[in-house]
Amino acid sequence: MDAACIPCDEQPPSKRAREESNYFFSRGPNTYRVPAEMHAESRAKLVQRMGEVLGEAPGVVLLRGGVSECRNDSDHEKIFRQESYYSYLFGVDEPDWWGMIELPSGRTTLFMPRLGPEYAVWMGEIKTPNAFRQKYRVDAVRFVDELRATVTEAAGPNPIHTLRGINSDSGVDLASVLPPTEGLPEGRSACEDVLYETLAECRVCKSEVELRLMTYVSWVTSMAHVEVMRDCKVGMLEYQLEARFLFHAAYH
């Protein structure tokens, strides 16, 4: 194919991109680079554990990511932080996404919101599904409005496993905060008695990649505390010390 005919999100990778192809995510130059295999390993662990519980029974795992929120009745968006189980499996940074893992193959499909052209005015380029597929290293990325049809095709008559479980710290049921029913095909019910406990158990034992990341995060946090203690002077207020801590963590 002539290079001029390749869509802009499928251009051959540059030398720098090839050198960094083993890395999944970073905040920029001189920041920690998360290896690409971390989330893939997490999905493989879940598929294996589900197989141990269910055998080779086919089905799909359906997860809903965190949703975007505004402050009260305004259009001021709150700072978004991804739902933890969704982040563990997919590493997706953006709100309002879904994810599906087919059993027992482990084939993974992400679903992104279909953004209007006005989004680009304020937020910049709207990335294509293929660009996100390459970024998140999954088998496919589709739009959320294609979710039910895709789940129907992938699951067939087999179970659709969703998360329902109570957080032991907050006492909140995840399914009440992020109801998965909106992603279920019409007339289908979810299997809620396997996934939460299995996925929670997967997160208990950390991989070597996860341990390296946790070590780095602990180091950044510790250094932020040191910076706060160095800057602490008589008469300073707590919010000023908090600001110094947040600045160090965000900057590094």
Q: Tens-digit pLDDT profile for the chain (252 aa)? A: 344 333 334 444 454 554 445 677 888 787 889 888 899 999 999 999 999 999 888 999 999 999 999 999 998 889 999 999 999 999 999 999 999 999 999 999 999 999 999 889 988 999 999 999 999 999 999 999 999 999 999 999 999 999 999 998 999 999 999 999 999 999 999 999 999 999 999 999 999 999 999 999 999 999 999 999 999 999 999 999 999 999 998 887
Long-range pairs for 21-27: beta carbons < 8 A, 24 or more residues apart: 24/91, 24/136, 24/137, 25/91, 25/93
The predicted model scores a pTM of 0.86
Q: Please say whether the dihedral angle defined by the alpha carbons of residues 212, 26, 107 and 195, taken in this order, is positive or negative.
A: positive
Q: Report how far residue 201's alpha carbon sits from residue 170's, in angstroms, rounded to the nearest whole number.
A: 18
Helix (H, G, I), strand (E, B) or coil at 96: coil
Q: Report how far residue 212's alpha carbon sits from residue 210's, in angstroms, rounded to the nearest whole number.
A: 5
